[in-house]
Chains A and B, each alone.
Chain A
Amino acid sequence: MANSRTRNKFSAERYGSLIALGILVLVSAVLSPHFLQPQNILNILRQISYTGIIALGMTFVIIAGGIDLSVGSLAAFAGAIGVLTMNALGAAGKPEWVGVLAAVLVALAAGSLGGVLNGLMVTKGRIAPFIVTLGTMAIFRSLSLYLGDAGEFTSTNTLYSQIGSASIAFVPVPVWIMAAFAAFFSLLLGRTRYGRYVRAVGSNQRVALYSAINVDKVRLLTYVVIGLTVGVTAVLISMRFNAVGTSTLGVNYELDAIAAVIIGGTAMAGGSGTIWGTVVGAIILGVINNMLNMVGVSPYLQGTVKGLVIIGAVLIQRRKA
Chain B
Amino acid sequence: MPEAVVRTEKIRKDFSAVTVLKDISIELQAGETLGLIGENGAGKSTLMKILSGIYQPTAGALFIDGKSTSFRNPSDAKAAGVSIVPQEFNLCPDLSVSENVYLGDEIKGPGGLLDRAAMRDRTRELLSELSAAIDPDARIVELSAAQKQLVEICKALVHEARVLILDEPTTVLTKIEIDSLFRVMRDLRSRGIALVYISHKLWEIAEICDRVAVLRDGELVHVAPVATLSLEEMARRMVGRELSDVFPKLAEPSAEAPVLFEVEGLSSPNAFENISFSIRAGEILGLAGLMGAGRTEVAEAVMGVRRATGRIAVAGKELRSHRPMDAVAAGIGYLSEDRQGSGVMVPFTIAENATLVSLPRYSRGLLGIVDRKGEAASAERWKGLFSIKATSTDQCLEELSGGNQQKVSLAKSLDPEPKVLIVDEPTRGVDVGAKRDIYRLIADLAAKGIAIIFISSELEEVIGMCRRVLVMREGRAAGFLEGAAVNEEEIMYLATGIREGV
Contacts and interface: CB of A to CB of B under 8 A. Distances in A.
Contacts of A213: 324-325, 356
A203 B356 CA distance: 13
A5 B392 CA distance: 13
A167 interface: no
Nearest to B365: A192
A211 B396 contact: no
Contact of A7 (B357, B359, B363, B396): B396
B349 A187 contact: no
B324 to A, nearest CB: 4
B29 interface: no
A190 B369 CA distance: 9
Given A192-B368, A200-B348, A212 B396 contact: no
A166 B327 CA distance: 53
B328 interface: yes
A210 B343 contact: yes
Interface in B371-400: 394, 396
Interface in B109-143: none
B370 A207 contact: no
B336 A210 contact: yes
Contacts of B357: 211-212
B320 to A, nearest CB: 16
B394 A7 contact: yes
Nearest to A200: B345
A203 B352 CA distance: 13
A204 interface: yes
Interface string A1-32: 00001010100000000000000000000000
Contacts of B316: none
Contacts of B334: 210
A313 interface: no
The main secondary structure of chain A at its interface with chain B is helix
A124 to B, nearest CB: 14
Nearest to B375: A196
A208 B357 CA distance: 9
Contacts of B348: 199-200, 203
The main secondary structure of chain B at its interface with chain A is mixed
**Residue of B352, B362, B370, B396 with most partner-chain A CB within 10 A:** B370
A26 B322 CA distance: 58
A126 interface: no
A212 B327 contact: yes
A211 B347 contact: no
B342 A210 contact: yes
A209 interface: yes
Contact of B342 (A193, A194, A207, A214): A207
Interface size class of B (residues with CB under 8 A): 20 to 34
Interface size class of A (residues with CB under 8 A): 20 to 34
A259 to B, nearest CB: 24
A188 interface: yes
Contacts of A206: 341-342
Contacts of B349: 7
A30 to B, nearest CB: 36
A233 interface: no
Nearest to A9: B396
Given A7-B394, A7-B396, A212-B324, A194 B345 contact: no
A10 B192 CA distance: 47
B412 interface: yes
Contacts of A207: 341-345
A196 B355 CA distance: 11
Nearest to A4: B372
Contacts of A208: 345
Given A192-B367, A192-B370, A203-B348, A210 B359 contact: no
A115 B336 CA distance: 34
Contacts of A203: 345-348
B303 A193 contact: no
A277 interface: no
A215 to B, nearest CB: 9
A210 B301 CA distance: 11
Contact of B359 (A5, A193, A204): A193
Interface of B: 303, 305, 323-325, 327-328, 334, 336, 341-349, 352, 356-357, 359-360, 362-363, 367-370, 394, 396, 412
Given A200-B356, A210-B324, 14 more contacts: A9-B396, A192-B367, A192-B370, A193-B370, A194-B368, A196-B356, A200-B348, A207-B342, A207-B345, A210-B334, A210-B336, A210-B342, A212-B328, A214-B325
20 contacts: A7-B349, A7-B394, A7-B396, A188-B367, A191-B369, A192-B368, A192-B369, A193-B360, A193-B363, A193-B368, A196-B356, A196-B359, A196-B370, A208-B345, A210-B342, A211-B324, A211-B357, A212-B357, A213-B324, A213-B325
Interface of A: 5, 7, 9, 187-188, 191-194, 196-197, 199-200, 203-204, 206-214, 271-272
The 8 closest A-B pairs by CB, nearest first: A193-B368, A212-B328, A212-B324, A193-B363, A210-B342, A212-B325, A192-B368, A211-B356
